[in-house]
Amino acid sequence: MEGRGMGISEKVSESLLAQLDRLEAVDASNADALRMEISRAKAVQGITAQLIANGNMTLEACRLKLEYGEMKVPKGLLG
């Protein structure tokens, strides 16, 4: 991945698009290569799901902070 200063959503999008390109480029007649790319795609999907869940949790923490005012938030949760 390139581009310092890129936000997490841009990095995730770039990774997902790169994985899509790899899946489209794999020779479907090469079963081993196809299995490897499918495995890689599943790994990328799993990591992406965790990043999205983390982003949603952070968003919910910000929403609650706005709704209930200043409160003690665990260190690292909001950056």
Looking at residue 7, what DSSP letter applies?
A: -
Identify the pLDDT of residue 5. Answer: 64
Q: Give 10-residue mean pLDDT values along the chain (79 residues).
A: 67 90 93 94 92 89 84 69
d(CA 56, CA 11): 17
Q: pTM higher than 0.95 for the full model?
A: no
